[in-house]
Every structure is written in structure tokens, then in C-alpha cells.
Amino acid sequence: MSEEAQREFLDARSMLCPMPVIRTGERVAELAPGTVLEVRASDPGVLHDIPAWSRVHGHTVLEAREEGEELVVVLQVHGDDDGGA
């Protein structure tokens, strides 16, 4: 990841499946290629669902981890994707 990459954040805590993925798609559609998006969620499904969505839409997952009771997925936006939401 470039040190100059713009970093954005999405708070998807307290949202249940499929909303974290839908909100991620909507947010990605607003971002320029190369932007890094950090998604924070409480639904354990995001550790599988957002990486799977990212692969389908051509984005790169940089990190997926548990941080206390929160789950964090960091992805880098690629191409001219419409978000797929």
C-alpha cells in the first residue's frame, strides 16, 4: 500500500448481514481507485463476506482481523467498479 493512498472509513457496527456488504459496495462506488477503505463491523460474517465480495469485484483485501469485539476489514479499491451493491 502506498503511503500516499487516501484512507476512508466505514462504520458498519450494529448492522446485520447483508447490510455491511451492501454499505461497503455503496461506499466503494464513491471512492477513487487506490483508496483504502477500512470497514469496522460487529457481524462476524464480514470476515468472509467482504473478502468474497472484494474478489468478485476486483478489489484487494489488505487485512481482515478481529479487534476486541469489533471486526475490521481493510480493502484497496481498484478499477472503475460500480460497487456492485
User: Which amino acids are annotated catalytic?
Assistant: 17
C-alpha cell at position 53: 465480495
The set of cell numbers assigned to 26 is: 455503496
Q: Using DSSP, how many helices (H) and how many strands (E) does the chain show?
A: 2, 4
Asked, as a colleague might, if the bond just before 51 is cis with ω within 30 of 0, I would say: no
Residue 18, classified by CB atoms within 10 Å of its CB into exposed (0-12), middle (13-18) or buried (19+), is middle
